[in-house]
Amino acid sequence: AQRVTQPEKLLSVFKGAPVELKCNYSYSGSPELFWYVQYSRQRLQLLLRHISRESIKGFTADLNKGETSFHLKKPFAQEEDSAMYYCALGSSGSRLTFGEGTQLTVNP
Amino acid sequence: GAVVSQHPSRVICKSGTSVKIECRSLDFQATTMFWYRQFPKQSLMLMATSNEGSKATYEQGVEKDKFLINHASLTLSTLTVTSAHPEDSSFYICSARAWTSGGAARNEQFFGPGTRLTVL
């Protein structure tokens, strides 16, 4: 069975500091991984998908199959990055399994 | 583009009544929609996959007779919570799968704003 683990429920950093949100997964097949973000009072929206290998809003995430991880990183956090971040694993039929989420707070 | 709406955004009902929640893809066709449930300060839990023109696929532990799903058109899926009880109170979120263009991009889900159900 697939599983996604986000070990930190809360993460607080200062503006300009680097930030890393951890995500580990377990899946027997070939994983498709995503990061979703939910800003206050807004709907869930896609931030990154691993197959695109893109940088969105300064965030990047690299799939490490050896460590079964897909950590989200940004070198210089901004206050507007404060939000709830969910790591998700896509499996057959595009079903998504979500992690518990990490609430990121960027302090001024 | 790729906007998903839900109606109602909030509903309060009495125990024993049934409640219908609609999920619409506004500017694209979605052959597959998903229904999630989210408890306070917890993650999204997939309840079922709704396929247009066929029966929904329910996740383990989700009662199909209690959570009726109908996906009668390419833009509309409905979730009916039958004989609702206080323990059904939750935040229900739908998403629709749309295929994005481009060599590297594949299908992704677009989420609705959610429906807050409170059963008294």
Q: Do B111 and A51 touch (CB under 8 A)?
A: no
* Model pLDDT, residue B106: 54
What letter does residue A92 receive in the DSSP assignment? G
Q: Alpha carbon of A95 to those of A7, A13, A108, B20: distances in Å?
A: 22, 32, 38, 23
CA distance B43 to chain A (A): 5
Report strand pairing: B76-81 vs B19-25. Answer: antiparallel
Give B48-66 pLDDT, tens digit per residue. 999 888 889 999 999 999 9
**Structure confidence at residue A101 (pLDDT):** 95
* pLDDT 10s digits, B9-51: 999 999 999 999 999 999 888 888 999 999 887 889 999 999 8
Is B111 in contact with A43 (Cβ distance < 8 A)?
A: yes
Interface of A with B (CB under 8 A): 32, 34, 36, 42-46, 49, 51-53, 86, 93-101
What is the per-residue pLDDT for B105?
42
- Work out the mean pLDDT of chain B and round it to a whole number: 89
What span, in angstroms and rounded, lies between the C-alpha atoms of A33 and A51? 8
A·B CB contacts under 8 A: 50
pLDDT digits (tens, 9 = 90+) for B80-120: 999 999 999 999 999 998 766 654 445 678 999 999 999 99
Nearest-angstrom CA–CA distance, A52 and A67: 20
Please state, in angstroms and rounded to a whole number, the distance separating the CA atoms of residues B64 and A102.
31
Cα A62 vs. chain centroid, distance in angstroms? 10
